[in-house]
Structure 1
Amino acid sequence: MLETVNTIFQTFGASVVVPIMIFIIALFLKVKPKIAMMSAFYAGVGLTGFGWIITVFTPVVTKIIKQMVNSTGISLPVVDIGWQAGSLASFGSTVGLSFFVFGLIVELLLFAFGVTKIFMASNLWNNFGFMIWGTLCYYVTHNFWLSLGLSFFMLLYALALAEIQADRWSDYYGVKNASVSSIHNIEQVVPAVLLDPLWNLLGFNKVKLTPEYFKDKLGVFGEPTTLGALLGLIIGILGNIHDLGTLKAWGQILVFAIDLSAVMTIFPLITGVFAKAFTPLADEIDKNRKVDNSTSEKKDSIHDKKRWFLGVDDGVGYGEPATIISGVILIPIMVVIAFLLPGNKTLPIVDLISLPFMVESIVAITRGNILKVIANGIVWFSLGLYASSWLGSIYTGAISHYGVAIPAGVVMITSFNLIARPLNALVFAAFISGSPLWIGLAVIIYLVLLFVLRTRRPQIWTYLNKMADKNAGFSGSNDKITY
């Protein structure tokens, strides 16, 4: 059975499987078949568009980053080859496939019994994020049930974090009743919430570094298209710092500037198409929201205890201006930090293009304050580099064991997007220790978090909205995703 599921998914891929899931869910929510069909097509078209751009752009940005590395002479043994290898390996392990099959059932049960208000089944594709951690655990411990338990535990706290940020994410990105919930990009809720008082103390909230600010102050140079070209020019120069006197170097620099400009222009367009896949579903949730019959008035959405959210792919928010600008700015910053960070062994390369995915929660919670997004990213992703360095040998062994070829000349591999995760690494460490004390502590912390969420959700959302409002001069991007 597991092999059959694997064969089906590998044969058709996410661009076919996800639309089918969207179609089924849409019908379940009583969306008209014609509209449900269009939602499915938009999902397939959006995922295909993302795939095309990332497939074409990844080798280009990878080449530039490698040149930046070579120009410094610094060698780091754990090389980021992208999340795709981790995804393939997770489908090649028994633990991973077991989670893929039974995880969907558990996700439906958790939603049905009210443990979570996030309908994760609509984000089925991103289950590989849970699967890879279970796969790594099984590679280390050879304990099937412990490893499968780790994947399910990560699902539980990912859903809790997704619900904590849900009102902010939905409001900021303009997609009603939706929240991202992938394990590899949801833990950024933690630094976004915990570090915000520090950034306010330093006055970051008063700095109007937003997409609107760029447009107002820089005019045409503040547009994402132009910013992409300027950032591409800077990164290209850094990658050719020793050859600036040659025509070949300037050819590569200018081509990369146009390539990055194209990415920052086209991605928002594809994002708009992809968001259309979830529009009818979100609208149907809104229509079915309970109304207080005694007053015939719609309940305040923050205090509506029955309000629930679709789990959507991170691609929905990738192209929003503050998101993609912050992510692209962090690309050269994280490369420099990787060189300077004492004890770091990880070189982020391929997954640097995923940085806009990785900052979505921070963008939503800080209401698009780019300075705060960059500050949070520097702190959290730097800790992630240490996590990735520690896990380098484990990840390399697991990936090669489950049938993915390691690039020639590479000592160890990682995925900056999947593995450079401080919180996930701590939970992983607790489980592979096999200690009832550490595993029990992780479970207790989750249960406390869940209790607070279930009993104080309106207060949490109110606090996050007040926190976001402290960012002076910005009420949200005027270029939110539209559909």
Structure 2
Amino acid sequence: MLSSVSQFFNAFGATVVVPIMIFIIALFLRVKLKTAAMSALYAGVGLTGFSWIIGEFTPVVTKIIHQMVNNVGIKLPVVDIGWQAGSLASFNSSVGLAFFVFGLIAEFILFAVGVTKVFMPSNLWNNFGFMIWGTLAYYATHNFWLAMGLSFFMLLYTLELAEVQADRWSSYYQIKNTTVCAAQNIVQTVPAILLDPLWNILGFNKVHLTPKTFQQKFGVFGQPTTLGAILGLLIGILGNLNRLASYHAWGQIFQFAVQLAAVMTIFPLVTDVFAKAFKPLANSIDQQRKTAANTQHITDPLNDRKRWFLAVDDGVGYGESATIISGIILIPIMVVIAFILPGNRTLPVVDLIALPFMVESIVAITNGNILKVIANGIVWFSIGLYCSSWLASIYTGAISHYGAAIPAGIILVTSFNLMARPLNAVVFAAFVSQDPLWIGLCILVYLLLLFCLRRYRSQIWHYLKRMADKNTINPSKE
């Protein structure tokens, strides 16, 4: 059965399966048949557009990063080969496939009984983010049920974090009652919340570094297309420092500047198409929420305890200006940090293009404050480099065991996007220790946070709104 499931999803792929799921959900939400069909089609078009752009741009970025690395001359033993190998291994392992089926059923049940207010099946393709950790745990311990338990527990706290940041994400990215819920990207909610008071003490909230202020202060030079070209020039120069006297080098530099400017221009357009897939569903949810809220005389959606959210692919936010600008700026920063960080063994390469995905929750919580996004990214992803270094031998063994190819000449591999996750790594360590004390502690912390979320959700959302408002020039009044 599991083999058949694997063959089915490999045959049709995300660009077909996700639109089918969206079409079914739209019908359940009483969206008109024509609108539901168009939502599904927009989802397929959006996913295809993302895969084409990232597929074409990733080799270009990877080449520049390799040149930057060669210029420095420092060799790191753990090389990031991208998340795709981890996804392939997840769908090839018995634990991964079992959780793909079990996890989908569990997501329906958890939503139906009210454990979570996030409807996750609409984003089922990102379940591989849970599957990969279960695959690693099974490879390390050979304990099937422990590995399944780990994947399920990660699903639980991912849903919890997704609900915590849900109001901020839907407000910032302007798609009502939606949130992202990818295991590899949602954990950035933690540093975004915990570190914000520190950044405010340092005055980062007073530095209004947002796409809007960029355009107001710098005019044409503050637009995403122009910023892309400028960032492309800088990154291209860093990749060609040892041969700037060559016209071939400057050819590559200017080509990369135009290519990055194209990505910064085209990606928001693709994002708009992808967002069209979810807006009719989100509007239907919002209309039903308002109807129910009116009967209870609830005027503020932050106080609506029955409000629920549709999980959407984080590609919806990738092309937003602050998100893609922050992610691109972090590319050379993370390469430099990888070299200077004491004890780090990981070289981030291929997954650097995923940095805009990785910062979405931070962008939403900080209201697009690019300085805070970069600061949070530096702290969190630096810790993440240590995590991926520690996990490298297990990750390499697991993905090679389950059929993913290891590039020739590389001994240890990782995925910066999947493995550089401090919270996930800590939970993984607790479960693979097979110590009931550590596993029980993880479960206890989750239950305490779930209690707080169920009882104080509106207060949490109001706090996050006030926190976000501190980053605006004219804060809104509560």
> Which category of TM-score, normalised to the shorter sequence, fits these structures?
over 0.9
Question: Which residue type is aligned with residue 418 of structure 1?
Answer: L
Alignment correspondent of 2:323: 323
Change (3 A) 1:293 1:420: closer
Q: Secondary structure at the match of 2:9?
A: helix
Q: CA deviation at 1:267?
A: 0.4
Distance 1:352 1:125 in 2: 21
Q: Give yes or no for the alignment of 1:396 onto 2:399.
A: no
Alpha-carbon contact 1:290-1:306 (below 8 Å) kept: no
Helix, strand or coil at the partner of 1:451? helix
The separation in 1 between residues aligned to 2:347 and 2:294, in whole angstroms, is: 60
Give the structure 1 partner of residue 413 of structure 2: 413
Query: How many aligned residue pairs are there?
Result: 476
1:462 corresponds to: 462
Counterpart CA distance in 2 for 1:11 and 1:371 is 43
Contact 1:292 1:299 survives alignment (8 Å):
no
For 1:266 and 1:475, the matched residues in 2 are separated by 31
Name the structure 1 match of 2:444. 444
* Alignment partners' CA distance in 2, 1:390 and 1:295: 54
3-state SS of 1:79 partner: strand
The residue number in structure 2 matching 1:239 is 239
Distance 1:113 1:339, change over 3 A: same
> Which one-letter code corresponds to 1:153 in the other structure?
F
Matched position secondary structure for 1:311? strand
1:433 partnered with 2:427:
no
Q: TM-score, normalised by structure 1?
A: 0.97
Structure 2 residue 109 is matched with structure 1 residue 109: yes
Pairing 1:223–2:200 present: no
Aligned equivalents of 1:45, 1:24: Cα separation in 2: 17
- Structure 2 residues without counterparts, runs of 5 or longer: none
Counterpart of 1:375 in structure 2: which amino acid?
A
One-letter code of the match for 1:6? S
CA separation in 1, counterparts of 2:232 and 2:325? 12
2:397 aligned partner, one-letter code: G
Partner residue of 2:96?
96
Deviation digits for residues 179-238 of structure 1 (CA, Å, limit 9, x no counterpart):
000000000000000000000000000001111111111111100000000000000000
CA 1:220/1:97 → structure 2, altered by over 3 Å: closer, same or farther? same
Work out whether residues 80 and 413 of structure 2, in 8 Å CA contact, stay in contact via their aligned partners in 1: yes
Distance 2:201 2:229 in 1: 34
Contact (CA 8 Å) 2:302, 2:458: kept in 1 or not?
A: yes
> What's the offset of the Cα at 1:472?
3.8
Q: Is the 8 A contact 2:293 2:299 kept in 1?
A: no
How far, CA to CA, are the matches of 2:436 and 2:404 in structure 1?
33
* 1:73 equivalenced with 2:73 (yes/no): yes
C-alpha root-mean-square deviation of aligned residues, in Å? 1.2
Q: Distance in 2 between matches of 1:37 and 1:207?
A: 44
Assess, with a 3 A threshold, how the Cα gap between structure 1 residues 137 and 293 changes in structure 2: closer, same or farther: closer
The alpha-carbon deviation at position 471 of structure 1 amounts to 1.2
Alpha carbons of structure 1 residues 319 and 153: separation in structure 2 relative to 1, 3 Å = same
> Residue 310 of structure 1: SS of its match in structure 2?
strand
Q: Are 1:183 and 2:183 matched, yes or no?
A: yes
Distance 1:472 1:184 in 2: 29
Q: Map of 1:129-168 to 2, 5 A cutoff?
A: 129-168=129-168
Range 210-219 or range 129-138, more displaced: 210-219
User: How far did 1:299 drift?
Assistant: 3.4
- Percent identity, aligned pairs only? 73
The CA deviation string for residues 391-417 of structure 1, in whole angstroms up to 9 with x for no partner, is 001000001000011001112111000
DSSP-derived class of the 1:179 partner: strand
Residue 356 of structure 2 aligns with an amino acid whose one-letter code is P
Whole-angstrom distance in 1 between the partners of 2:286 and 2:62: 43
* 1:348 counterpart residue number: 348
AA partner of residue 240 (structure 2): N
Instruction: Give the counterpart letter for 2:140 in structure 1.
Output: V
**Residues 474 and 262 (structure 1), Cα distance of their counterparts in 2 relative to 1, 3 Å cut:** farther
1:63-117: CA deviation from partner (whole Å, max 9, x where unpaired): 0000000000000011001000000000000000001111111000000000000
1:4 aligns with 2:4: yes
- Between the aligned partners of 1:475 and 1:281, the Cα distance in structure 2 is 30
Once residues 457 and 469 of structure 2 are traced to their aligned partners in structure 1, the CA distance between those partners, rounded to angstroms, is 18
Structure 2 CA distance, aligned partners of 1:115 and 1:446? 12
Aligned to 1:300: 300
Tell me the CA shift for residue 297 of structure 1.
4.7
Shift of 1:296: 7.5
Q: Taking structure 1 as reference, are residues 337 and 297 closer, same or farther at Cα in structure 2, changes over 3 Å only?
A: same
1:286 maps to 286
Aligned residue identity for 1:449:
L
Shift in Å at residue 28 of structure 1?
Answer: 1.1
Alpha-carbon distance between aligned partners in 2 of 1:357 and 1:453, rounded to the nearest angstrom: 25
Structure 1: gaps of 5 or more residues: 477-483
In structure 2, what is the Cα distance between the partners aligned to 1:471 and 1:229? Answer: 27
Structure 1: which amino acid aligns with 2:309? F
CA deviation string 1:128-185 (max 9, x = no partner): 0000000000000000000000000000000000000000000000010000000000
Pair 294,130 (structure 1): closer, same or farther in 2 beyond 3 Å = closer
Tell me the CA shift for residue 292 of structure 1: 6.2
Q: How far did 1:32 drift?
A: 1.0
Q: What whole-Å deviation, never above 9, does each CA across 1:299-355 have from its counterpart, x for those lacking one?
A: 320111110000000000001100000000000000000000000000000000000
Whether contact under 8 Å (1:207, 1:371) holds in the other structure is yes
Whether the 8 Å contact between 2:396 and 2:412 is mirrored in structure 1 is yes
1:11-46 residue CA offsets vs partner (Å, 9 max, x unmatched)? 111000100000011111111111110000000000
Whether the 8 Å contact between 1:95 and 1:144 is mirrored in structure 2 is yes
2:122 paired with 1:122: yes
Q: Assess if the C-alpha contact under 8 Å between 1:367 and 1:474 holds in 2.
A: no
TM-score by length of 2: 0.98
Q: Tell me the amino acid that sits aligned with residue 201 of structure 1.
A: I
Specify the code of the residue in structure 1 equivalent to 2:188. Answer: Q
Could you tell me whether the CA contact under 8 Å between 1:291 and 1:299 is conserved in 2? no
C-alpha contact (below 8 Å) 1:291/1:297 kept by paired residues = no
The equivalent of 1:265 in structure 2 is 265
Say if 1:166 and 1:17 are closer, same or farther in 2 by CA, change over 3 A.
same
Report what 1:42 is aligned to: 42
User: Contact between 1:164 and 1:461, CA under 8 Å: does it hold in 2?
Assistant: yes
| Aligned equivalents of 2:282, 2:213: Cα separation in 1 | 31
Where 1:130 maps in the other structure, the secondary structure is helix
The amino acid across from 2:320 in the alignment is E
Contact 1:338 1:385 (8 Å CA) reproduced = yes
